[in-house]
Amino acid sequence: MKLITNRIFKNLLLSGFICMIAATNIYATDINSLQDSAANYYNNAQYSEALVFYDSIYNLNYSSADLFLNMGNCYYQIGDIPSSIYYYELSLNLDPANENTKHNLKIVNTKIETKAEDLPVTFYKRWFTSIISVMSADAWGLLAIFLFIFGLGMLALYFFSFKLSLRKTGFILAIISIIFASCSVAFSINLAKKVSNNNYAIVFDKGLVKSSPNNESNNLFEISKGLKVEIIDSLNLWYNIKLSDGKQGWIEAENLQRL
């Protein structure tokens, strides 16, 4: 009886595994089919039609830097500047080193009616940001694993080599590898936190920023569609936002779309 029960349990596990593999293959097939259709319309400059398929891919809970880049391109071509900026920003969240996305975002940002001037940033913050933006969080994580394994190999060389010169080389390279692996881990965590704790939004509807979260309060300034803002706080259906030039105030949540 126990043998039969174990056999049934193993058969159920095997069936479940086969079903999971089949579902994964069907999902991948759907994604590839939709991507092919979207690319066909995109290459024929039928951007609205391409967006239908890109949206379908996105609705399948699939995301990638290339998908968001293509969506941003489509929205730019049909004249929807806020949506274009929104998807370019999403693309950069996943792949901050993508030069095509950065170039396209720079171009589309020139289309914003009123732009906020960025506050000056200290040199070390610019330096740190430029370094960690060279690769994505996943890429930094993979580099950290490679460096850690390499460091272990060098430690093995240090402990087991009979030549003094090889032992010195192994020790030095092990220390360097572990230091750089630790830096890579820190960069990966920093970028991952930026994506998961994203407090930024894109303005989709021009609106007046108020001194407090109600329509009767004083008007402070107006913001244009496509502007990227930081969300400081929220209350009911209002967001307390901060612009890159330091201006701050409250605006109705319906005017924004969070990244």
Prediction pTM value: 0.69
pLDDT in tens, 210-254: 999 988 999 999 888 999 999 999 988 999 999 988 889 999 999
Q: Classify domain 200-258 at the CATH superfamily level.
A: SH3 Domains (2.30.30.40)
Fold agreement (2-109, 200-258) = no
209 bridge partner residues: 221
Spatial distance between the Cα atoms of 64 and 70, rounded to a whole number of angstroms = 10
Task: Give 84: exposed, middle or buried? Use CB within 10 Å, 0-12, 13-18, 19+.
Answer: buried
Q: Which CATH class is domain 2-109?
A: mainly alpha
CB atoms within 10 A of CB 64: 15
pLDDT given for residue 120 in this prediction = 64
Weakest mean pLDDT among 11-25, 55-69, 156-170, 172-186 = 11-25
User: What amino acid occupies position 124?
Assistant: Y
Task: Answer whether residue 139 shows pLDDT above 70.
Answer: yes
Provide the residue ranges of all domains of the chain, joining segments of one domain with +: 2-109, 123-196, 200-258
**Cβ atoms of residues 24 and 44 within 8 Å:** no
Spatial distance between the Cα atoms of 145 and 76, rounded to a whole number of angstroms = 39
pLDDT in tens, 95-135: 888 899 999 999 999 888 877 666 566 767 777 777 887 77
pLDDT band for 29, please (50, 70, 90 cuts). low
pLDDT in tens, 39-82: 999 999 999 999 999 998 888 888 888 999 999 999 999 999 99
**Cβ atoms of residues 115 and 227 within 8 Å:** yes
CB atoms within 10 A of CB 63: 14
